[in-house]
Structures are given as structure tokens and as C-alpha cells.
Structure 1
Amino acid sequence: MATRHQVRQSVVSLLYAKEMGSEMEQFSNEYLEEKKIRNDQKNFTIALYNGILDNLNSIDTLLNNYLGKWKLDQIGSVERQILRLGAYEMRYSDIDLAIAINEAVILANELSSESSIKLINGVLDAIAKELK
């Protein structure tokens, strides 16, 4: 059974694949099966993924407000997807804000660079301060 962290990794991968132009229905089913994400965890993955897509404009607007001199389209695609997931969980789910930030930082540590970790942590921490 996949962990919640593995689900989040998969959501970032699916968002990345969509942005790169993959045919999502077939790709997502194959990808989730390959990662052994099934049943409740598959439903959770799909709910996160669709929730982000359904709220993409408001998530991107929120993130752009906190990126300072940068804009979302100026940062790497993986970092963009991690930020979207983190912002979605913080704003649209009942997860504790600190857990959402921590999960995003762990994902950045696994998938990105040191400077990206700092960026992701800083942006999500600033959002958390507003949401408290």
C-alpha cells in the first residue's frame, strides 16, 4: 500500500506529465498501477490531482502573489507542481499547514535543488502566515 507521501509524489508527477502534454487518462492509470497506488490511495491521488486542476487559476494567482520578483511561469516545472500541491493542500484541504509545508519541502529535497527547497519553503510559509 502506498503512503500519503508516495501519493503526493505521484500527484507532482501527474501534474508534470500533464504540463508536458501527456495523454493523461491512459498515462495516469498506467503510472498509478506501476507505482502500486490502488484503491483508497488511488482515489486520494485522483482527488488531489483533480482538485488542483479545478482550482488552478486561484492557486496560481495565490502563488504569484508570494513569489516576489519571480512569476510561476519563470520557475521550473517540477517546482511549480510542488508549489501547486502545497498551496492546494493548505487552502483547500483540512491538512495541518505545517504538514503541507513539510511534505512540499521533502518533495523538493527529493526532486529539486537546494535553492528550490528554500523558495518552496519560503513561499508556502508566507502563505501559511496569511491563512492562520
Structure 2
Amino acid sequence: MGSRRKARECALQMLFAADVSGTRSDDVVCAYWRELGDGEMDEAARDFATRLAEGVLARIPELDERIRLRAENWRISRMAIVDRNILRLAAYEFSYEPTPRTVAINEALEIARRFSTYEATQFINGILDAIKRDLDLESPREEIEITEETDKPEEHNVASA
């Protein structure tokens, strides 16, 4: 498993913990690294995971609104906790990270296959694809190919919010 996928999984676990506990603060991130964090994760991947989790936590209302617009007949509160946080994570990455949107979708689906159900993976794919289409119309982004060689966390900068 690549270091960025592992970082995304760690971010998802932080978001899950925040959602379950009702906490929307960076305390969850600190507690995660103190209690559960992957000690073998390199610093760049750890920074990426932290940036993702903190970015999502800071923008949940905005991300949920974007998801709500595309999750027809589904309230965010009725979605499985893991599913809504996978959606939030990918929606955040779409807007605030330089990751190509198709890569963010593929990563979200791989994580969903590991942490959720087959049906949820299809559900997540449909919503993320619709959000991607919306964003591609609003702000087209060149889709570059990310390979193991070029997908290095330290080479990516946070897009300004």
C-alpha cells in the first residue's frame, strides 16, 4: 500500500473518531497520533494525513452541502459514518489538494472497499463522480497522471482556501 493511501486511511480514522465523538477539533488529530497512529509512517505521509483530517474538520458544513446536492434522497446524517467521511475526504481533496480528481475518486473507492460495503462503494462512486463533474465545470483542472514515483506527499502544497 502506498504511503498516500495509508495517509488517507489514517485521516479517515481521525474523521470517524471525530464524527462518533461529536468532536470537531484538532484534539482528535492529536489523540489519534498519540494513541493509534502508525509509528512506521514517514513524516511527509503523516503531515498529509493530518492536513487532510484538519482540512475536512474545518470545512464540514461546506463539504456536506456539496455532498447533499448530489446525494439525492439521502440525508448526510443517515449515511453510514464511514461512508460520509470517505465522501468528505474526497470532496475536500477535490477542492483543496492538487491531487487529480480521478485519483481522489479511485483512492476513495479503494478505501471504501476496505472499510465499507460493496453497495456503499457504488453509492460513493456515484456521488463523487457527480461532484467531480460539477467541479470540472466550475474550475477545470488538468488531470495529470500520478504514479508511485511522482506521488510523494512532500511535493504537494495545500491550495489556498
By the TM > 0.5 criterion, same fold?
yes
Match of 2:5 in 1: 5
Deviations 1:72-115 (A, max 9, x none): 11110000110010110011111101000000111111111111
Match of 1:100 in 2: 104
Letter aligned with residue 45 of structure 2: Q
Quote the RMSD (CA, aligned, Å).
Answer: 1.8
Q: Measure how far apart 1:56 and its partner are.
A: 1.1
Mapped pair 1:60 → 2:81: no
Q: Which runs of 5+ in 1 are unaligned?
A: none
SS of 1:32's equivalent in the other structure is: coil
1:101–1:121 CA contact under 8 A, matched in 2 = yes
- Normalised to the residue count of structure 2, the TM-score between the two structures is 0.76
Q: Give, in whole Å, the separation in 2 of the partners of 1:113 and 1:4.
A: 22
Which of 25, 41, 54 aligns to 2:45? It is 41
How many pairs align? 131
- 4+ residue runs over 6 A deviation: none
Q: Give, in whole Å, the separation in 1 of the partners of 2:32 and 2:62.
A: 26
Structure label with greater radius of gyration: 2
Q: Which runs of 5+ in 2 are unaligned?
A: 137-161
What is the percentage of aligned positions where both structures have the same residue?
28
- Normalised to the residue count of structure 1, the TM-score between the two structures is 0.91
